Amino acid sequence: MMIVFDYRLPSPGLREYVRQFQIVGFEFKESETVPWKPYWPRPETCLSFYPRKTEIIESADGNKEVLSSRAIIRGQYHSITNRQPNKNFVLFQVVFQPGALFRLTGIPVDLFTDKYIDAESVFQPEIGRVNERLSSTDNHMEMIWIVETFLYALVNQVKYDVKPVDKVSHYLLQNPNKLSFDWLADEACLSRKQFYRKFVERMGVSPKAYTRIIRFDQAVKIKNANPELDWLSISLQAGYYDYQHMVKDFKEFTSLTPTEFYLMDSHAPERKFGKKET
Q: How far apart are CA 168 and CA 145, in angstroms?
A: 30
The predicted structure's pLDDT at residue 179: 82
Q: What DSSP element (H or E) covers 143?
A: helix 140-155
Phi, psi of 229 (to 5 degrees): -70, 140
Question: Domain 3-155 adopts which CATH fold?
Answer: Jelly Rolls (2.60.120)
The predicted structure's pLDDT at residue 119: 96
Q: What DSSP element (H or E) covers 228?
A: none
175 pLDDT above the threshold of 80: yes
Instruction: Give residue 271's Cα distance to chain centre.
Output: 19
Q: Tell me the domain boundaries of the chain.
A: 3-155, 164-205, 208-273
Three-state DSSP class for 98?
coil
In sequence order, what are the beta bridge partners of 213? none
51 pLDDT above the threshold of 70: yes
Looking at every residue in the chain, the average pLDDT score rounds to 95
Q: Average pLDDT of 72-85?
A: 97
pLDDT classification of 1: cutoffs 50, 70, 90: very low
The predicted structure's pLDDT at residue 237: 96
Q: What DSSP element (H or E) covers 81?
A: strand 81-85
Q: Are the C-beta atoms of 79 and 254 separated by less than 8 Å?
A: yes
231 pLDDT above the threshold of 60: yes
Q: Are the C-beta atoms of 22 and 9 separated by less than 8 Å?
A: no
The predicted structure's pLDDT at residue 176: 87
Q: Average pLDDT of 62-67?
A: 94
pLDDT classification of 2: cutoffs 50, 70, 90: low
pLDDT classification of 278: cutoffs 50, 70, 90: very high
Q: Are the C-beta atoms of 87 and 27 separated by less than 8 Å?
A: yes
CATH number of this structure's domain 208-273, picked from the four choices 1.10.10.60, 1.10.580.10, 2.40.30.10, 2.60.120.10:
1.10.10.60
The predicted structure's pLDDT at residue 3: 81
